[in-house]
């Protein structure tokens, strides 16, 4: 079982890393496509990524310990098998089964050749199910067969080339039977998919819900937070790709973040008709109660309300980073101020967390504090 467990474990680790980096882009894409952040669409997308990683690693892992795989093989080693359905011949001539004795037929199920063939058939069967979900109509079975064959050919080519030259000899053979079984498995998965997909919401239901969601001009709370997060991530990425390359000062980063925060959350929406980069990606804009463009004082209030928790946290961290001698007259004051500041920041974030949770559960019946204080209403474009 370790032959299968190790590749799947590796796929899971890489999947977790990818999920962390892809969560924000996926949520933006999902909201733009469906008009809401669909849990079911996210489950389908993430499970598909995990399945594709698992299938790839099941084909390639475990890797050889050396790049010189030629040294591990005999000079006359054959790296390909081009005889179609050769696995059937091997099963028929298997020593584990005596065909004149029906009582031995069940041994076929434990024969290594049969298990290998079954594995190759099942490997791309889930792909067929996913393709049926994406394509919907049964008339697309040719596409499913073609994509299954193309993916199987990619696997076999990767193997015969030693992962495109990483290894000087192939460590697994190119087998035409694998192409046949993989492709057939994908087609079979496509055919039986309706039985499996009947247990889950269809894409048509997601689209119908998206159309219904578009009727309301108000923006749900989660996309509002996502837009703020997108803008903030742009600030952090800008720091890392520019000044952060040359300077590691926390004060310089704080100053850079403050300036860019004001620009992205105040100047940009004032110039761009109430839109920040984040709200533009999520297809809504900031308006007044009367649906006009907010004034610059309102946008500045909103920016200040958004940035205050971050600024308080940064200032507290910078203050706590100050080193004083224990014999200094200021040392007791530094300790008490540090404790008070940490307590304030902790309470502030607890209150903010409760506030965000309440707004999310109210599903748009309440507004976030940073919009409420500035009399701003997010509306769909």
Residues linked to residue 285 through DSSP beta bridges, in sequence order? 379
123 CB-side CA count, 13 A: 28
Q: At what angle do helices 296-320 and 250-262 cross, to 10 degrees?
A: 170
CA distances from 370 to 143, 289, 304, 306 (A): 49, 14, 8, 6
Reported as a single tens digit per residue, the pLDDT across 45-88 is 999 999 999 999 999 988 888 888 888 888 778 888 888 888 88
Backbone angles phi, psi at 83, to 5 degrees: -90, 115
Provide the token pair at 121. 């058939």
- Among the listed residues 18, 31, 15, 16, the one whose alpha carbon sits nearest the alpha carbon of residue 229: 31
Provide the token pair at 376. 């701003």
Give CA–CA dist 44/289, Å, rounded. 38
What is the pLDDT of the chain when averaged over all its residues? 86
Per-residue confidence (pLDDT) for residue 102, from 0 to 100: 74
Provide the token pair at 172. 């697994």
> Does the bond joining 62 to the residue before it have cis omega, within 30 degrees of 0?
yes
Per-residue confidence (pLDDT) for residue 130, from 0 to 100: 93
Per-residue confidence (pLDDT) for residue 34, from 0 to 100: 76
Per-residue confidence (pLDDT) for residue 208, from 0 to 100: 67
What string of H, E and C letters represents the secondary structure of 251-281? HHHHHHHHHHHHHHHHHHHHHCCCCCHHHHH
Quickly count: other Cβ atoms within 10 Å of residue 147's Cβ.
19
SS3 state at 100: coil
Query: Is the pLDDT at 276 greater than 60, yes or no?
Result: yes
pTM higher than 0.75? yes
Question: Strand pairing of 284-287 and 174-175?
Answer: unpaired
Confidence of residue 329 (pLDDT cuts 50, 70, 90): confident
Helix (H) or strand (E) holding 186: helix 176-197
Query: Is the pLDDT at 213 greater than 70, yes or no?
Result: no
Q: How many residues does the chain have?
A: 381
pLDDT, average across residues 180-185: 95
- Among the listed residues 362, 367, 278, 356, the one whose alpha carbon sits nearest the alpha carbon of residue 31: 278
CA geometry: angle at 85 spanning 82 and 87, to 5°?
Answer: 100
Which residue did the predictor score with more confidence, 102 or 258?
Answer: 258
Give CA–CA dist 123/52, Å, rounded. 10
- Among the listed residues 98, 91, 96, 15, the one whose alpha carbon sits nearest the alpha carbon of residue 51: 15
Give CA–CA dist 263/153, Å, rounded. 51
Contact 378, 302 (CB under 8 A): no
Query: Is the pLDDT at 1 greater than 60, yes or no?
Result: no
Residues linked to residue 81 through DSSP beta bridges, in sequence order? 175
DSSP-derived letter for residue 285 is: E
Confidence of residue 333 (pLDDT cuts 50, 70, 90): confident
Provide the token pair at 24. 């924000």
Per-residue confidence (pLDDT) for residue 2, from 0 to 100: 59
Per-residue confidence (pLDDT) for residue 215, from 0 to 100: 65
Contact 299, 286 (CB under 8 A): yes
Reported as a single tens digit per residue, the pLDDT across 348-369 is 999 999 999 999 888 767 889 9
Reported as a single tens digit per residue, the pLDDT across 153-182 is 999 999 999 899 898 888 888 999 999 999
Question: Strand pairing of 80-81 and 174-175?
Answer: parallel
349-353 long-range Cβ contacts below 8 angstroms, 24+ apart = 349/309, 349/313, 352/309
Query: Is the pLDDT at 99 greater than 80, yes or no?
Result: no
- Among the listed residues 39, 22, 63, the one whose alpha carbon sits nearest the alpha carbon of residue 209: 39
SS3 state at 91: helix
Per-residue confidence (pLDDT) for residue 369, from 0 to 100: 92
Residues linked to residue 175 through DSSP beta bridges, in sequence order? 81
């Amino acid at each position: 079982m370790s032959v299968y467990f190790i590749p799947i474990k590796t796929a899971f680790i890489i999947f977790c890393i990818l999920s962390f980096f892809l969560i924000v882009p996926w949520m933006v894409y999902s909201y733009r496509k469906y008009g809401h952040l669909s849990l079911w669409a996210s489950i389908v997308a993430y499970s598909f990524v995990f399945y594709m990683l698992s299938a790839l690693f099941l084909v390639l892992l475990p890797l050889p310990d050396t790049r010189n795989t030629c040294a591990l093989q005999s000079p006359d080693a054959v790296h390909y098998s081009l005889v179609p359905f050769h696995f059937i011949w091997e099963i028929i001539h298997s020593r584990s089964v005596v065909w004149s004795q029906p009582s031995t037929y069940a041994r076929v199920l434990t024969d290594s050749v049969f298990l290998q063939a079954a594995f190759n058939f099942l490997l791309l069967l889930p792909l067929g199910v996913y393709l049926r979900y994406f394509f919907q109509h049964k008339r697309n079975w040719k596409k499913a067969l073609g994509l299954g064959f193309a993916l199987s050919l990619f696997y076999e080519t990767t193997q015969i080339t030693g992962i495109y030259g990483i290894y000087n000899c192939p460590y697994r053979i190119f087998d035409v039977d694998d192409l046949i079984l993989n492709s057939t498995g994908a087609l079979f998965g496509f055919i039986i998919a309706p039985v499996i997909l009947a247990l889950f919401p269809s894409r048509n239901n997601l689209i119908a819900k998206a159309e219904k969601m578009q009727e309301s001009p108000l923006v749900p709370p989660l996309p509002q937070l996502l837009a703020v997060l997108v803008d903030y991530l742009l600030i952090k990425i800008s720091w890392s790709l520019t000044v952060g390359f040359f300077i590691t000062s926390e004060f310089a980063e704080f100053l850079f973040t403050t300036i860019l925060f004001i620009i992205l959350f105040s100047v940009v929406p004032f110039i761009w008709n109430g839109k920040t980069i984040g709200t533009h990606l999520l297809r809504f804009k900031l308006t007044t109660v009367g649906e006009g463009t907010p004034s610059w004082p309102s946008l500045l209030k909103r920016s200040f309300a958004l940035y205050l928790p971050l600024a308080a946290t940064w200032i507290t961290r910078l203050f706590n980073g100050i080193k004083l001698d224990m014999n200094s007259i200021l040392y007791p004051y530094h300790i008490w101020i540090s404790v008070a500041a940490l307590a304030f920041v902790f309470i502030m974030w607890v209150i903010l967390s409760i506030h965000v949770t309440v707004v999310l559960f109210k599903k748009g019946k309440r507004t976030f504090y940073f919009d409420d204080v500035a009399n701003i209403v997010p509306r769909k474009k």
